[in-house]
Structure 1
């Protein structure tokens, strides 16, 4: 029993260690039909945190998240807003409680985000760079 438990904990430590270092190259995207110029990470953070509901040109901006717990989502908020999942949850609890906003809708994965954003010029989302195609346009590349 002791040996098996030790082996399990070792494997767990290895998988946790690799999860911490794995990162995809993410791109923030809008529909190919959306004329928005490149955006700064601050502008994007404001849209995704419910602090801005418009693109710089005044058009409506609707944020679309990846699913809760996904590597892409955790990495996106860490890179654009410096927020861990716990800080993000606290942010939205406060926003919802004070009636100042609702968190973005969620899509299952990069392909779903790309499809929804491509079909709706007011949406903005983030996907793995490998999922980019001509239906969407990158407004920020996160490295």
Structure 2
């Protein structure tokens, strides 16, 4: 049993970190977890400077999406999906923009003013900026 737990911890430790990334024109360079969670839950629709936030996410079944929501937002993917569905069906909001791959995520964030999303480090380049989280 102890070996299984150690092996599981080692696999989790080897997973690449998922970083919060934004369009380069975004003037915010740091967000706390509560604000980040509110943005991804589509409850906060603007950056602190008033610019509209355009949220991009991978499919809820994507392992990178699951790692981001669990580790950075401290929520499960299905909880976010329920919140989005509730807003869409009630007419009080909309779901985030869904992309198929991390490459598409990077390209859409780079070309969309106010965009926010997440990527593994290997997909980050100079076309986007990393947003720090506490």
TM-score past 0.5 threshold: yes
Aligned: 1:27 with 2:19: yes
- TM-score normalised to structure 2 length: 0.81
Cα contact 1:31–1:120 (8 A) shared by 2: yes
Q: Distance in 1 between the 2:133 and 2:18 partners?
A: 6
| Uncovered stretches (5+) of structure 2, i.e. residues with no partner | 1-7
Q: How far apart are 1:105 and its partner, in Å?
A: 1.1
User: Would you identify which runs of 4 or more consecutive aligned residues in structure 1 move more than 4 Å?
Assistant: none
Q: How far apart are 1:134 and its partner, in Å?
A: 0.6
Q: How far apart are 1:90 and its partner, in Å?
A: 2.3
Query: Which residue of 1 is the match for residue 106 of structure 2?
Result: 114
Q: Render the CA deviation track for 1:19-49: whole Å, top value 9, x for unaligned.
A: x847331111112232222112221111110
Query: Which residue of 1 is the match for residue 55 of structure 2?
Result: 63
Q: How far apart are 1:96 and its partner, in Å?
A: 2.2
Q: Distance in 2 between the 1:89 and 1:65 partners?
A: 11
Q: Distance in 1 between the 2:55 and 2:91 partners?
A: 18
Q: How far apart are 1:141 and its partner, in Å?
A: 5.7
Aligned: 1:125 with 2:117: yes
1:65-84 equivalence runs, <5 A: 65-84=57-76
The number of residue pairs the alignment matches comes to 125
Name whichever of 52-61 and 87-96 sits farther off: 87-96
Of 76, 80, 84 in structure 2, the residue corresponding to residue 88 of structure 1 is 80
Name whichever of 48-57 and 36-45 sits farther off: 36-45
Q: Distance in 2 between the 1:80 and 1:95 partners?
A: 22
Q: How far apart are 1:92 and its partner, in Å?
A: 2.2
Q: How far apart are 1:59 and its partner, in Å?
A: 0.7
